[in-house]
Structures are given as C-alpha cells and as structure tokens.
Chain A
Amino acid sequence: MLARAAQLGRVPALIRQNLAFVLLLAIGIAAAIATYELRGAAAFRHAMESAGETFVFILPSLVGGLLLAGALKQLVPAGALAKWMGAEAGLRGLVIATLAGMATPGGPMAAFPLVLVLAQAGADRGALVAFIFAWSLNGFQRLLIYEVPLLGTEFAMMRVLLTLPMPILAGWLSRLIPIRWQPPK
C-alpha cells in the first residue's frame, strides 16, 4: 500500500500528517510531565478530565461537520463557485468569501474540509484567506456561544466592528504576495 501511495506522490502528505500527530503528542507528553511535576497529581487528573469532557462535547460537532462537508463535496460541482470566488471575481469574491466564512459554524473540523471544497471548486487564494480569517475572527456561532456570554456584548461588538473589514484586506493582500501555490487535488 505504501508503494502505491508513493506512486501517487502522496508520501509527502502522509509525512506531513504524521508530523502533526508526532508534534502534538510530543508537546502533550512534555506538558503532561510538567503539569505533574509542577502542579501535582490533582492538576494532572483535572486536565485529563477536562480533555475527556471536551472530547465528548465536540464529538457531535465533529461528526456533523464532517458529514456536512462530505455531502457538500458531492453537491458542489467543481467550478461552480469559481465565478463567485475566483481571482477574476475581484473585490466581490472577497466580500462573498468573508460573508461565507462568518456564516460557517463549527470548529476547524468543519471549516477546513469546506475550505478544501472551495479551493477545489475554483476559489482563489484571496477568497480562501478571506474565508478562513472571517471564520476564525468573527464566526457568528463562536461569537454567540462563547464571546458574548463570557466577555460581554460591548467587548464583542467593539472587536467585531474593528475587525470586520480585515478578512477582505488580508485577502486582497494575499493576491499580491509572490509565493506560488497550487490548490490541493
């Protein structure tokens, strides 16, 4: 199977994915040892419990988001979004991508598969950057569920008003950056 993967040129992708796993595991083990040594056994248990609770909490989002992404991949035909979010769509493409990003619910497990769908369907780098920034900065769902209850309406409103045009600005900037990039197959 590995030989076949190598034939398809997918070994770099496999290495990159496992690199992420190994990195996270290494930082996690170091942090676990440090927690036990510096904060004691109770803090260690507390961390394990909160990790377990978080896992149970996000599992429904994870499965729902991946199912949504899987379905959208079947429904959105390649190139359908190109006329909306392609480089030739100019500023309008950036505005549409920004609105779509803010409307995208869920964590990275939901958003990044969607980004992949958009990239494969013809969205340009500016639209992808605008989409990711709009989702991570001002995703309406995170705003309503976490920021407003925890930090208050006034802080959330002030921050959102200030950062609202930033995804468009960054998307426009990214079109000027001279790094070559091809959307993944």
Chain B
Amino acid sequence: MTATQGLLWLMALIALGFCLKRSASTAIRAGRDGAHSLMRVLPLFTVALPMAAFLAELVPADIAEGWLGPESGLQGILIASVAGGFIPGGPFVSFPLVLTFTKAGAGVPQMAALVTGWAIYGVHRVIAWEVPVLGWRFVAIRMLAGLVLPVLTGLGVAWVLPWFPGALVRP
C-alpha cells in the first residue's frame, strides 16, 4: 500500500468514525453504499484495465518525432491535445507515455498539451464514469467549457518555456 492509499484509507476511516459517532446504522449504511458502488464499478475495471494495457502495447513510439516534435508547432499541439484525450487509463499510463514520447523526440509544449488533453477530454473516463454518474448533457457542457484549454496550455508553455530551461530536458 502506498502513502497516498494510506492517506485515502485514513480519511475513509475518519469519515466512518464520524458516521459511527452519529449512530451504528449510519455507519452500516455508509459501508453498504460503498460496497454497492464497488459491485457497480468492478465489472468496468475488469474490462477497462486490459483494454488500456493492450492499447499501450500498440502505440508506436517513433511517431513522436515527426508529429509531436518541437518544430511541429501549433499543429503538433492540436494533435497532442486530441491524442491525449484518447490515452486510456490513469496517470500510470499517461505519464510514462509522455516520458516515452519525450525520449523519442517530442516537444515540451506538445507534451504539456498532451497531459492537459488527457486530463480534460479523457474519453475513457467520460465513458466509464462521467456519463453513468452525471449524464451526457453534463458531459457536453463540461467539454464545451474546456474545449480550448489543452491548446491554450500548449501555446502558453511555448510562450513561458524560456523561463523554464530545465523542463523535460532529454536524458
């Protein structure tokens, strides 16, 4: 168990403690609610994780230089933003991918756009979580509100990069 997981469990136990202080039945309801959610999401995880792992095997590393290199400019930022949205899985997939792309020659603004695209569009997260929990209409509102943010991040990074010379220096 990692430190973060420990922190999460600590918070969960504190919250459960507060439930128990209120009444035993409140704590039982909380536990039952958690178990109910778990039963709902476990099937999704058993199909989502192998999907993410297979897609990671398929992404070719050598497309980075040409499509996402420092010379690719605004076009590279656009490609990276959209590609970021289709990276399946959590940070354990996206950040190692950024590292792989960087080693293969991708530019810093393009990689910042990729991370932002992953965080904002995150198609797999929309399908697995946001639509079931909040509905298509909410997703449409959120997507419209955040549509330009990945591209804006890429352009912003290109602008401030001279002040951060050590960012993503190739090993």
Question: Known contacts being A43-B57, A51-B49, A67-B31, is A110 close to B19, with CB within 8 Å?
Answer: no
The answer to whether the Cβ of B63 comes within 8 Å of any Cβ in the partner chain is no
Chain A residue contacts of B30, Cβ below 8 A? 67, 70-71, 73-74
> Quick check: B167 and A158 within 8 Å, CB to CB?
yes
Annotate A55-95 by CB proximity to B: 1 below 8 A, 0 otherwise: 10110111111111111111100000000000000000000
> Quick check: B145 and A129 within 8 Å, CB to CB?
yes
- A110 to chain B: closest residue by CB: B8
- A183 to chain B: closest residue by CB: B134
- In the complex, what distance in Å separates the CA atom of A16 from the CA atom of B29? 26
> Quick check: A170 and B44 within 8 Å, CB to CB?
no
B129-147 residues at the A interface, CB under 8 angstroms = 129-135, 137-138, 140-142, 144-146
Chain A residue contacts of B37, Cβ below 8 A? 66, 69-70, 113
The answer to whether the Cβ of A180 comes within 8 Å of any Cβ in the partner chain is yes
Question: Known contacts being A16-B131, A129-B145, A145-B91, is A60 close to B5, with CB within 8 Å?
Answer: yes
The answer to whether the Cβ of A25 comes within 8 Å of any Cβ in the partner chain is yes
Question: Known contacts being A16-B132, A48-B53, A115-B134, is A162 close to B47, with CB within 8 Å?
Answer: no
> Quick check: B51 and A28 within 8 Å, CB to CB?
yes
- B165 to chain A: closest residue by CB: A154
Chain A residue contacts of B167, Cβ below 8 A? 152, 154-155, 158
Chain B residue contacts of A174, Cβ below 8 A? 141-142, 144-145
> Quick check: B92 and A146 within 8 Å, CB to CB?
yes
Interface size on A, residues (CB 8 A): 87
Chain A residue contacts of B16, Cβ below 8 A? 67, 71
- In the complex, what distance in Å separates the CA atom of A58 from the CA atom of B92? 10
- A136 to chain B: closest residue by CB: B119
> Quick check: B19 and A74 within 8 Å, CB to CB?
yes
CB distance from B38 to the nearest CB of A (A): 5
Question: Known contacts being A39-B57, A116-B133, is A31 close to B145, with CB within 8 Å?
Answer: no
> Quick check: A158 and B157 within 8 Å, CB to CB?
yes
B45-85 residues at the A interface, CB under 8 angstroms = 45-58
B interface residues with partner A (beta carbon < 8 Å): 1-2, 4-5, 7-9, 11-12, 15-16, 18-19, 22, 26-27, 29-35, 37-38, 40-41, 43-58, 89-92, 95-96, 98-99, 102, 108, 111-112, 115-116, 119-120, 122, 124-125, 127-135, 137-138, 140-142, 144-146, 149, 152-153, 156-157, 160-161, 164, 166-169
